[in-house]
Amino acid sequence: MQPDEKRVSNPTLNYVANAWFVAAWSHDLEKEKPFGTTILNEPVVIWRTAAGTLHALQDRCVHRFAPLSLGRCEGERLRCMYHGLLFDHEGSVVEIPGQELIPSSAKVRSFPVIERHSWIWVWMGDPALADAQLIPPAVGLDDPDYILGHGQLDYAAAARLINDNLLDFSHLSFVHAESFGSGPQFATSQANITPLERGIRYQRWIEGSSGTAARKNDEPVDSYMSYDFLIPGVLLMVGGNFPLGTAKQCEGGVPDLALAINGVTFTSQAVTPLTGNTARYFFSWGPHREHGDEAQRDMLMGIAAKAFHEDKVMIEAQQRVIDITPVPQVMPTAHDRGVTLFNRLVDKMVRAERKAPEAEPAAESTNV
């Protein structure tokens, strides 16, 4: 571990820009109703045309900075409703009321935007590098296999602190001892963590468990969970309980999910940095359709509501302490392997982005 890896996140943004960020739920985007948000401290307007196409632009008119999200959809175009400048979906001004000539510099950044898995994904970096294959394989609300509930929370804390939380499940034994009913094993033993190209994989067996609040069992079971945590901050997790001995049978590896007692559940979660010290957290969770129903989904959502509130209380308090700490320096523990691997990956990718001028998000001229 290098010394600078100990630095905590601060309002200076240290996130990969060449990534798909969850900006909203699909159902947030009504036809011809512009949706304004902020990602990586950049105002972004997204809209869905009458024909159903999605577009995303900088949410800032070139004229006097009025937000285009207060504007009006006109076909594939978006009109600023302050003084009427009309933008095409690539960000070029195509009409200035009362003026013939349109300067060629009259453009705002456009962002690649894709709707998938019930989420609206926006690529915040170099559009030339936007590859739909890089969208994490989340499970959408309309997935035929799962019955999912969903929600979101706004955090008065840096996204990186939420990422850190999701990258170290040892906190389950403390923060969520009651809500998730997690036992002490999350903290007393290590998970199996492996690096991925754009994230890390976390896998763990809890042998002889009595299950959790989500899946209680009368008889001891072997509990299994596995998640990928992917750039920019997306967690995709499957979990379930298996007959005692399964962990040993598969040598601590991946079980046949079809053998899960009462089936598995799946959760998709996404952490989006709004500004340097605010973030939006999107989540869905629910049982597999073959073994669960709406009632079980609602029970899981009740647990999630309690547990995610516990995280929010802790992480926002953590942010407040950081804010009054002159030189905050973390002291990583053995459970921070996932945190360290992921943040090292982020740092490496951010450094690479900033070396490559065409991928520099701050240099807007390269993207318009």
> Which member of 79, 150, 280, 288 binds a second copy (CB under 8 A)?
79
Q: Residue 242 Cβ, how far from a second copy at the closest point, in Å? A: 23
Q: Residue 286 forms beta bridges with which residues?
A: 266
Residues of span 91-130 touching a second copy by CB under 8 A: 96-99, 103, 105-106
Closer by beta carbon to a second copy, 6 or else 348: 6
Give dist(CA 231, CA 228) in Å, integer: 10
| Tokens, residue 179 | 């809500």
The span of 25-33, 39-47, 200-208, 292-300 binding a second copy (CB under 8 A) equals 39-47
- Give the x/- contact pattern for a second copy in 186-225, rule: CB under 8 A: -xxxx-----------------------------------
> Which member of 143, 164, 207, 228 binds a second copy (CB under 8 A)?
164
> Which member of 7, 82, 244, 306 binds a second copy (CB under 8 A)?
82
Give dist(CA 132, CA 90) in Å, integer: 18
| Tokens, residue 326 | 């002159």
Closer by beta carbon to a second copy, 280 or else 297: 280
> Which member of 49, 203, 275, 366 binds a second copy (CB under 8 A)?
275
Q: Rule CB under 8 A: say whether 368 interacts with a second copy.
A: no
Q: Please, which residues have CB within 8 angstroms of residue 119's CB and are 6 or more apart in sequence?
A: 22, 23, 24, 25, 26, 138, 140, 270, 282
Order of strands, sheet of 35-39, starting from the edge strand that comes earlier in the sequence: 35-39, 42-48, 54-58
Q: Are 66 and 80 in contact (CB under 8 A)?
A: yes
- Give the x/- contact pattern for a second copy in 296-335, rule: CB under 8 A: -----------------xx--xx-xxx-xxx-x-xxxxxx
Q: Are 140 and 116 in contact (CB under 8 A)?
A: yes
Q: Are 232 and 19 in contact (CB under 8 A)?
A: yes
Give dist(CA 337, CA 343) in Å, integer: 10
| Tokens, residue 307 | 């547990």
Q: Residue 28 Cβ, how far from a second copy at the closest point, in Å? A: 19
> Which member of 83, 248, 351, 354 binds a second copy (CB under 8 A)?
83
Check whether the bond before 137 is cis (ω within 30° of 0): no
The span of 10-18, 54-62, 196-204, 237-245 binding a second copy (CB under 8 A) equals 54-62
Q: Are 213 and 180 in contact (CB under 8 A)?
A: yes
Q: Give the SS3 label for residue 103.
A: coil
Size of the site for a second copy (CB under 8 A): 60
Summarize as ranges the residues that interact with a second copy (CB under 8 A).
Answer: 8, 38, 41-43, 59-60, 62-67, 70, 79-85, 96-99, 103, 105-106, 161, 164, 168, 170-171, 173-175, 184, 187-190, 275, 313-314, 317-318, 320-322, 324-326, 328, 330-335, 362
